Amino acid sequence: MASTSSNKSRCATCGKNIGTFTCRGCSQDFCLSHAQEHRQLLGKQMDEDVILMHDQFQQCLNEQVKQPSLHPLMKEINEWEKQSIEKIQLVAQVARQKVLNIISKHTDNVIIALTSIKEQLSRARDDDDFFESDINEWKENLEKLKTDLNTPKAITIKFDNNMNSFIPKISVHKERPITESTRATYGWAGGDQVYLNVTCSHDSNGYKTDIETNHTLEFMIDCDKQKLRLKNEQTQSIYELGVDITKCHFPWQISLNLCGSKARLRLLQ
């Protein structure tokens, strides 16, 4: 406080103009008694506001020094991580469910093929009618089924490695054969499957899937005799199917289905 002897102003508290003092902080004038009161008020504000705020901030600073992971910026990162994980988990769950649905149907087909092999083995054992060639063929077919069960060719999981994306997107694809949507289908497929008017059977007319990489196949369509013929040039296997034109009307359409994601073929004629 500074005393002013030349000009006496009125006290900001009581209004009297006796022996006033001017406060350098608020530039108000006070009489002697109220100047002391004003000073006490400033001391109270110092204790309750500034010192308390300082102590609270000091406590917050000490906590952050001890546990820097509690910093607000760290909390933002933690929240981003949580939301990102939740999104990834959701996409992963959708992909899992889609794969499970496809695998379930695929497994049913494998079970049908395995049941057919089991019946063949039972008949051959009961009749004591099998040779080395039969054993090798059954072993080969079982190995194919095992491979197809663990790594089905008709299912692919793709990752979109976009340079602008930190985490690649995942998607599940099932390659659907055209025969699923046609009204009448005749032909041959893997797993010893034969299609007769869309109905799928196994071992029909003794058909065995013996098509391997680099094999040459001859496929003949005889519309006059209403017949299909398939010949494997390497194994010399020949299979024929009669077509019921009352169910599969002319004109016929050729449908060639490649189930494997990397399957390729070359037409010779």
Domain, as residue range, for 90? 83-174
Whether residues 204 and 233 fall in one domain: yes
Residue 75 lies in a domain: no
Whether residues 137 and 187 fall in one domain: no
Which tops the pLDDT comparison, 182 or 171? 171
Residue 72 lies in a domain: no
What is the SS3 assignment for 44? helix
Whether residues 221 and 201 fall in one domain: yes
Which tops the pLDDT comparison, 200 or 179? 200
Whether residues 44 and 89 fall in one domain: no
Both tokens of residue 134? 């039969």
Whether residues 160 and 232 fall in one domain: no
Least confident piece of the model among 72-86, 164-178, 195-209: 164-178
Whether residues 131 and 166 fall in one domain: yes
Whether residues 193 and 266 fall in one domain: yes
Backbone angles phi, psi at 169, to 5 degrees: -75, 150
Residue 62 lies in a domain: yes
What pLDDT is recorded for position 116? Answer: 83
Residue 76 lies in a domain: no
What is the SS3 assignment for 241? strand
When the pLDDT of each residue in the chain is averaged and rounded to a whole number, the result is 81
Q: Within a 10 A sphere around the Cβ of 138, how many other Cβ atoms?
A: 15
Residue after which a domain boundary falls, among 147, 174, 201: 174
Please give the Cα distance from 233 to 125 (Å, whole number).
31
Residue 59 lies in a domain: yes
Whether residues 196 and 251 fall in one domain: yes
> In sequence order, what are the residues at sequence separation of 6 or more whose Cβ sits closer than 8 angstroms to the Cβ of residue 232?
210, 211, 215, 216, 217, 238
Q: Could you give the number of structural domains in the chain? A: 3
What pLDDT is recorded for position 115? Answer: 87
Whether residues 9 and 31 fall in one domain: yes
Whether residues 122 and 158 fall in one domain: yes
